[in-house]
Amino acid sequence: MKVIVIGGVAAGMSAASKLRRSNKNAEIVVYEQGQHLSYGACGLPYFVSDEIKDYKKLIMRTKADFAKVGITVHTGHRVTGVDETAKRVEVLDLETGMTKTDDFDRLLIASGASAIRPGWPGIDLENVKTLGTIEDGQALKELAMSPQVEKTAIIGAGFIGMELAEAMRTLGKQVVLIELKDQVLPLFDKEVVEPLEKELVEKGVELHTAEKVLSLEGDTRIRRIVTDQGSYEADLVVVSVGVRPNTQFLAGTSVRTASNGAVIVDGQMRTNVPGIFAAGDCATVVHGILGTDAYIPLGTTANRQGKVAGSVLNDEDASYANALGTAMIRVFDLEAAKTGLTEREAEQAGLSYRTVFVTTHNHASYYPDSKPVYIKLVYRADDKVLLGAQLVGHSGTALRVNVFAVAIQAHMSVDELGMTDLGYTPPFSPVWDPVAIACNAAK
């Protein structure tokens, strides 16, 4: 059996590695358009800020490591087409410009996603960057470390945009953060992120929400951003307004995709075409609460999908259909996390739900340096089964989201979780943990 994997980062190499562990005889060939494999892209903002000095620390395994276990990897090669009938891919060697074809028995599409570059006038000016790959990180860090770059602007206040705003302030830069929506982190409910917005401003970030970028201006290099409410000088602009799945090479095939181009898969990473699978940021995932196709481009999701794909490629029984979108972020001295449904998502899904919002503390109030924690829960109105949780606070806040994620997957009610035997000691928690306090406040 010959398996071709398109994409050599999270999902692709997780799948290839799992397949090799399960099947010592399969021929595994990977095509990756970049020069680096199996790296932690989520660490790139901390490489840019110089908290991580060497980008090589982000790389889990190298091309030579994979070769030792019999996985053939071609870096600098982009798949440009798929012939599902002939079971063949067309591949472009980016160094030589030569094109070749390669046959497969089974195909895994793990081509990831790329940062969106909107069609604003001036988008192609020098010093207008995105962040998605190690190469992007190297270019961005070189600029950010330059003394000639003083004024930076981040467009988009999602996870990467927020992390980059902190990175630029860590480097001593002036930072303007512009977001189209009326709040930062639009995946959260609005009231939950208010402490984060206050934290940004207190740490010197000039924050502008509900503001639309119209154009970027300069000679050959970026000089200013023009919005519907003003203009802002900038020596460096980072565009972080979302990602788009890298699936253009599937044009002309019958592989089903969502409206954004993500390949639609089931819980076993199968597409609608026999023998073709997909995983990672280029694919949908089955939502663990709604049971619908969802697009959740996270490193955790990609790795889980990749592991399942590697098993199913070897005809083993495996599935992943419980994605909750669990995610966390550090914003200067605060932490934030979410899992499951927000109130907005529960409403859009037509669910009958209730919410509770509490303010408590990260450890015993009498222990030194106790700080506030804000928690919002979403739960079903009839049986009080937990649907979602959002948290913002100081040290110890973010990891508490994992308790909520387990509870949601186990279909626990807030009453059950509120009386779960969680640990206690004054430096780490009040006698009633914030998790229990939020659950017991639910009516």
**Residue of 154, 211, 73, 90 whose CA lies nearest to 331:** 154
pLDDT digits (tens, 9 = 90+) for 373-409: 999 999 999 999 999 999 999 999 999 999 999 999 9
What share of the chain in percent tops pLDDT 70?
Answer: 100
Query: What pLDDT band is residue 369 in, cutting at 50, 70 and 90?
Result: very high
**What's at 65, amino acid-wise?**
D
pLDDT above 90: residue 11? yes
Q: Which of 22, 27, 42, 261 is catalytic?
A: 42
CA pair distance 416, 195, nearest whole angstrom? 29
**Residue of 254, 215, 252 whose CA lies nearest to 234:** 215
Residue 184, burial from CB neighbour count under 10 angstroms (0-12, 13-18, 19+): buried
pLDDT digits (tens, 9 = 90+) for 147-196: 999 999 999 999 999 999 999 999 999 999 999 999 999 999 999 999 99
3-class secondary structure, 173: coil
What's the Cα-to-Cα distance from 48 to each of 138, 166, 168, rounded to whole Å? Answer: 8, 10, 8
pLDDT digits (tens, 9 = 90+) for 318-335: 999 999 999 999 999 999
pLDDT above 90: residue 95? yes
CB of 196 within 8 A of CB of 392? yes
CB of 412 within 8 A of CB of 386? yes
Q: Is 42 annotated as catalytic? A: yes
CA 342, chain centre distance (Å): 17
CA pair distance 1, 89, nearest whole angstrom? 16
pLDDT mean across residues, the chain? 97
**The pLDDT value given to residue 79:** 98
Residue 237: phi and psi, rounded to 5, are -125, 130
CA pair distance 357, 207, nearest whole angstrom? 25
Residue 374's DSSP bridge partners are 359, 392
pLDDT above 90: residue 115? yes
DSSP 418-438: HTS-----TTT--SS-HHHHH
CB of 9 within 8 A of CB of 35? no
CB of 91 within 8 A of CB of 78? yes
pLDDT above 90: residue 2? yes
Query: What pLDDT band is residue 443 in, cutting at 50, 70 and 90?
Result: confident
**Residue of 62, 70, 78, 93 whose CA lies nearest to 3:** 70
CA pair distance 309, 327, nearest whole angstrom? 22
**The pLDDT value given to residue 377:** 98
**The pLDDT value given to residue 14:** 98
Query: What pLDDT band is residue 268 in, cutting at 50, 70 and 90?
Result: very high
Residue 162: phi and psi, rounded to 5, are -65, -45
Residue 103's DSSP bridge partners are 88
- The residues near 172 (Cβ < 8 Å, ≥ 6 apart) are none
pLDDT digits (tens, 9 = 90+) for 402-416: 999 999 999 999 999
